[in-house]
Amino acid sequence: MTPPPRHLLLALAVVAVWGTNFVVIKLALAALPPLLLAALRFALAWLPAAMLIRPPAVPWRDLMAYGLLIGAGQFGLLYLAMNRDITPGLASLVVQTQVFFTIGLAMWGSRGARVERPTRIQWIALTLAATGLAVIAAHTDAQTTPLGVGLVLLAALAWASGNMVARRSPQANMLAYVVWSSAFAVPVLLLASFVFEGPQRMADGLCRADATVWLAVAWQAVGNALFGYAAWGWLLARHPAASIVPTALLVPVFGLAASWWWLGEPLPPWKWVAAALVIGGLGLNLLGPRLARALR
C-alpha cells in the first residue's frame, strides 16, 4: 500500500534534512575544529533528550559500541575530512557507500552460520558504485583530496559497523538508542579534541562561534539526529520499508544541490557521472531484487 502524501512528504523532509546537513556541517567547521564540533553535536543530542527518553532495553556494551563507532568513527572522521579535504556534496555521496560495507560485514559476520551471499544484482550494484568512486578518485584536487575520500570511506565503514551493532536489537526504540549511545561518544571526542586539536584551538573555536555556528550545531543534534531518527522510525513502524527506504536515495541529491546553491560548489560533468553511478548502484541494490521478482 502506498503511504499517504503527507507521510511521503515527511519522508522527503527527513531526507532533505539529512542531505542538506552536509552544508550545515561545513558552516560550523568555519569556526569550530572538527573533533570539538563532533563532541558538541553528540552532547546536544544526549543531554536534553536523556531527561525525557528512557534508555532502550539493550545491553550497555552495545550502546557503547554504537556510540563509539557512530560518534568517534563515522562523524569524527567525516568532520575531519570535510574540514579541508572534501566538498560537502561529494562527502554526502561517498559516505553512502556504507550500504555496501554493511553487506560485506554481514557476509563476514555470518561465517559458520547461514551465509549471506551477495546476489548477481548486488555485484552489479557494487561495480556501478565502485566505478563512481573511481571517477571521483580520478578528479581529486585541492578541494577534494585522496585523503578526504579515504577518510569518508573509513567513516562509511564505521557507519556500517554501527549498523551491525544495531542489528543485534531489531526491536529497540532507535531514537532512544541514538540518544543514549551519544553519551559514550562525547568523552572520547572531547579527549581526542584535547589531544589532537589542543586546548588553545578548542578555546579559540568556542570564542569564534557566533549564533549561526551554534544554530548549525543545534541543527545537527536536533534536526539531523533527533527529528530525523524519530520521524524515520515513526514512518517505518507504519509502512513497509520498501515504500519508505527508497526515498533515502535522494540524500546525496540534496547534498550536492545544497552545496552548489549555498556554497557555490562546482558541479562539472564528471560529478554528475559519479553521482549517477553511485546513486544508480545504491538504487539497484535496493530495488533490484523487487525488479527481478517482477520480471520473473
How far apart are alpha carbons 115 and 104 in whole angstroms? 11
Cα–Cα dist 85/48, whole Å: 33
pLDDT (0 to 100) of residue 295: 67
Q: Closest Cα to residue 56, out of 157, 160, 182?
A: 182
- Alpha-carbon torsion angle 115, 120, 122, 127, nearest 10: 130
Under a CB-based contact definition with an 8 Å cutoff, are residues 225 and 175 in contact?
no
Choose among 126, 80, 85, 87: nearest CA to 103.
126
Whether the model clears a pTM of 0.95, i.e. scores above it, the answer is no
Q: What confidence score (pLDDT) does residue 108 get?
A: 80
204 vs 285: CA distance, rounded Å: 45
Cβ-Cβ contacts under 8 Å for 247 (sequence gap 6 or more):
8, 11, 12, 14, 15
At 237 the pLDDT is 76
Residue 241 CB neighbour total at 10 angstroms? 10
Cβ–Cβ contacts within 10 Å for residue 119, how many?
A: 13
Single-letter residue type at 140: T
The whole-number pLDDT of residue 170 equals 83
For 178, 182, 206, the CA distances from 51, given in Å and listed in that order, are: 14, 14, 26
What does residue 36 show for φ and ψ, rounded to 5 degrees? Answer: -65, -40
Question: Domain-by-domain residue ranges, the chain?
Answer: 5-295
Per-residue pLDDT tens listing for the chain (296 residues): 678 889 999 999 999 999 999 999 999 999 999 999 999 999 999 998 999 999 999 999 999 999 999 999 999 999 999 999 999 999 999 999 998 998 888 878 666 555 556 778 888 999 999 999 999 999 999 899 999 999 999 999 999 999 899 988 888 888 999 999 999 999 999 999 999 999 999 999 999 999 999 999 999 999 998 999 889 888 887 887 777 888 889 999 999 999 999 999 999 999 999 999 999 999 998 887 777 666 66
